[in-house]
Amino acid sequence: MPDKDSARRRYRERVRRALDRADEEFRGLYAEAIAALHSLTPEDLAAITPDPGDLAAFEQLRAVVEEASRANTSQAELRRRIEALGDVALRIARALPPFAALLGIAAAPGPSE
């Protein structure tokens, strides 16, 4: 039967690996895009798309980009996934400079401009 120290070490290792995976998401290929999405305030988002119902599109966009970062998805595939989310997601992406650089789309004036 394993001793308590061995079980504790295995538990700590599992927690460390889980934390490393979470950190990798934010250090991944699309870290700047993720940071830009996380930095949007409700006021910034309202300036981009005033319909409160568009929050769902924002959340979907954020989830798609975070997953793409975690999975090292290609830029072409990420662009396809963002386009599939629809006009609102594209409007949000165009307002954030990291997306213009990553996806080759024309950047619209940002919420602070």
Read off the pLDDT of each residue in 72-83 and give the average, rounded to a whole number: 91
| Cβ atoms of residues 90 and 27 within 8 Å | no
Q: Above 70 in pLDDT, residue 1?
A: no
Three-class secondary structure of residue 52 per DSSP = helix
Query: What's the pLDDT score for residue 30?
Result: 87
pLDDT tens, residue by residue, 28-48: 778 889 999 999 999 999 999
Read off the pLDDT of each residue in 17-21 and give the average, rounded to a whole number: 79
Dihedral angle of Cα 88, 94, 98, 102, to the nearest 10 degrees: 90
